[in-house]
Amino acid sequence: MTRRAGRNEALAGRYWEIDLLRGIAVLMMIGFHALYDLAFFSGPAIVDVRSGAMPTIAEATASIFLLLVGLSLTISSARAGFLGWDRLLFRGIGIFSWGMAVTLSTFLVLEEGFVVFGILHLIGISVILSLPILHRPRAALLLGAAVIPAGLILRGQAIATLWLLPLGLVPVGFYSVDYFPLLPWFGVVLVGIFLGSLLYPGGERRLPLPEISPTSPARLICLLGRNSLPIYLLHQPVLIVAMGLFGIIDIGRSLALPLP
């Protein structure tokens, strides 16, 4: 691909490799949640998603999403310049609002374990907190390198209040089906900001990549990546109904299913 072709693609709004990676993360998410649903209805004797490699897969999936959040923020801010901060601010507020909708819906469905500060809350707040540092990628990398280990150190530390949940400090016995605190996960977004400035300086792809074939299955995965938010919001109800119709789970218990 020539530099001119890469520029035209940037002006068109998207890079296929970013959509492809996000689409792969969507498939990983759907696969993990399908196993999660099966474990919920059938018990850990059938599928245990809380031990072995499964937690690592879940965290790897989240890491891909969050790296791409930071990378995409870098591209968006480079294209919009300093005057585009308000658009990104409203984007962060919008994503956080969807997170609050998930909180409300899971609170109504679940007796315990509802989503207090899930991945949508994290992404929304991360977008807002990233605004002052989007044009300082080296500072973002250094801050990310501090935030990630700080979060890992704080993980599992218990306190007597709920107010510090967004930072990773939780009361004894706290449980949520979807919990992604700022520490360490905001650090992953910050690393993504650095990678975005490195790989897409000025919002343009640094390294030339060939176009993908119109018949390639990668195009379908890219489509998933371009629609990750609605897929995230809808995939669990779709999984429940589909697994119930095929007799994989007891559809009569579906209203009790967590919606992470």
* Count of the separate structural domains present in the chain: 1
Q: Answer yes or no: is 100 within a domain.
A: yes
- List the one residue out of 175, 192, 181 whose CA is nearest residue 99: 181
Q: Answer yes or no: is 238 within a domain.
A: yes
pLDDT given for residue 151 in this prediction: 95
pLDDT given for residue 189 in this prediction: 98
Q: Answer yes or no: is 159 within a domain.
A: no
Q: Answer yes or no: is 167 within a domain.
A: no
Residue numbers in the chain where pLDDT is lower than 50: 1-11, 254-260
pLDDT given for residue 45 in this prediction: 55
pLDDT given for residue 159 in this prediction: 86
Q: Which domain holds residue 16?
A: 3-154+174-256
Among residues of the chain, what percentage have pLDDT more than 90?
Answer: 60
